[in-house]
Structure 1
Amino acid sequence: MIVSNAHAKLVKQLNNSQVVQRDRMNDPYGNTGLLEIIPTTERELADVLTLASEEEHLVTVEGAGTKRGFAGTLLETEWVVSLQQFTGIVDHSIGDMTVTVKAGTPLRKLQKELAIFKQALPFDMPCDEAATIGGMIATNESGPKRLRHGAARDHVIGLRVVYPDGRIIRTGGKVVKNVAGYDMNKLFIGSMGTLGVMTEVTLKLRPLPKDERVIIAFFNENQLTLIEDVVASLLDSYMEPVALEIMNSTWTEAVTGEVALGLLISFEDIPSSVHYQEQYVLSQLPKGTNAAIFQREDANRFWDQWRKRESSQTLDQSNQQTAVKLKVAVKNFDLFSVLQECKRLTVQYHVSTSFHGGVGHGLGVIILTGDEQDICLAIADLRQVIAGASGHLVLTHAPLTIRQTVDVWGEPPAYMELLQGIKQAIDPQRILNRTRFVGGI
């Protein structure tokens, strides 16, 4: 009855084609809804959220749905607000190298448009073909090139956001040198859509690199200290890699076909600079070390394969086994210990572990594949080890049953009361993406 009444009110505001009643389904990832609402304008979206706030309907915000496995403990809410109609470039300032884009725009589509002008968003986070700009900003994703280019938050200079009560606000600006007032962008970036619905995002762009090189050096399992020495040498040098990743043998085999520990070093710049840095790296490798080198187009194809490897679509096709993706954050050289812990987890809990970590910034990704109960035990074990190293572990993709058993975010931070206060001030009814953020916010 509640759904029927809500359906009638929404149809009055919108039309029948924009309000679709979904069949109940036992979706393995949850974060679905009974009514799918498809606004086409910011004003329609504001009216929908106003009604939801007044009548306290729980709302799930969805772009392409590729992040449904990230956080949240609810199978479904009453409404799913889809941003599938919020696509396209609003403004592209070629000279200023900024772009304003609607939040539901797929990243791949935007990159193709920008490439015409030899510009790009330096986003290299793992994503599916349909993954949207809004979803990446809401989760503050990043990839191996975070070492040079930063995370999603580092490229946002302005937002348009609809609050849960229907108010429309703008944060930041449309120019890079915008320093007036508080940086309100950071309030919404990474908040998992719990504070408002982004409708437009203004981003800084970069020129497409003139040249690129990906170098992968292969090492035996007993040569971990040699890898540490090479990494230390690179970090102490004048070289400027865009990515510096260590990989366990499972990950290395998946992306190169070689069964070995891997050290990935990537450069982007003008050809002469890339060539010089490539030669320097090769000169620093221990004598007899085998290496694979990917140039320009081959490098682009390599990164496409890398991103696909940890996309939600690939994880969902894990041969009937459960697949979970974790993000760990530790001191950068502690990632070598994490790599060794992965080997222990494989033996102790009978799970497959695939790992890579950025030794320039300390963030790593682990994919666990196996029996659901074994995975839960392995996560609990690893989280304790990571906490002992003053680090953090977050589940970034997992079935609903695991997210209901294992806390996605771990122990609430010391500033949890502040986060709760912000949520209470902006969304007192807690209607938006309930349970998707830290501490069940």
Structure 2
Amino acid sequence: MDAHFEISPAVAALLGRATAHRRALHRIPEPGHEEVRTQAYVMAALSALSPDALSPCAGTGVRAVFRGQGGRAVAFRADMDALPVQEPAGCGFESERPGMMHACGHDGHMACLLTLAELIASRRASLPGDVTLLFQPAEETDGGARLMIADGALEDPHVEAVYGMHLMPDVPLGRVGTGEGPLMAQTSEIDVIVEGRASHGAMPHLGADALCAAGHFACLVQAGLSRRTDPTVPALVTFGRMCAGTQRNVLAAQAVLEGVVRTLSDDAYARVRALLEDCMRATEAAFGVTCALEERTFYPCVVNDPAETARVRALLGDAYVPQRPRMTAEDFSFYQRERPGVFVMCGCGDAAHTAPLHASGFGFDERALLYGVELFARLAGVIAPGGEH
């Protein structure tokens, strides 16, 4: 039988508090940069604990500091935003906002940090070092981590290590997954704009078919990826949408391909970028069109620090689950570019909860929250490494 991460009595006693926070936050989902009610809830919950510093951060985010006894200063991050997903009825604490839902577990992430704050507040006299709690807006959209950093989230105190987590349904409940080095992909949203020339569909030689050119471009990129990139080094280009044309019998004067590039290294990204340029030039020559590339919302690769990963693995013991790199992205990577850090996958998968992240049916056994609190409490030093009370 798989070993579960041992929960200390002090953390186990907080299940009711963690559950209450999670359900309250689940009812008030808000999109990125609009987390007004969420921010108010978090600020009120933290204010009751009298942290040494408490303030809004990055607009709708929150930053709290609990000062310790001069030991290692660490930070823990939870994301706050929800998704434009309609939640079905049935859980008993459904979203109060039509068309919005915490379908990615961010309500649980915040609940973990608020519960950790309660534990720290109850043991403040024995807190070894400063602890900064970061409640970050806009993880799902344009990278709120950058705004948190720019707003001084990692200073005063100067954070020495930063930790983040994600509830993960493909990791068993009671276990925690992570790995040293690249864990999640860097990503860019890309638009490829193909400019052609409209003409009657019966006289295509008088125009330049942007739609046809864009379709060939998309296929050319996929063929090029299979021959121009090392198959052992992950690199993905996904075009999920094409907008082109005005009517059925007229060649499209413009086509726009919307996609995403995902890689696990800067070198791989540079190779994909060069491939895109080559494919654009080839498409221009073949179809008599012009192509332009626009890039947005670049997230770096999540790269777990070796020493900090070893620290986490030692705390997890047999509950550790090795993780292969994932091609999803996370703006926690911006914190890791500033400080050593580790991102972990906190298992919430069981037979009763099988829906994936971002699905309207996503949910989890709220006992999963305790495993996140336990790990963070051990890293903060308010629970001994062996999990003793």
Query: Please, what TM-score do these two structures have when normalized by structure 1?
Result: 0.26
Q: Which has the higher contact order (CA 8 A, sep 6+)?
A: 2
- Bigger Rg, structure 1 or 2: 2
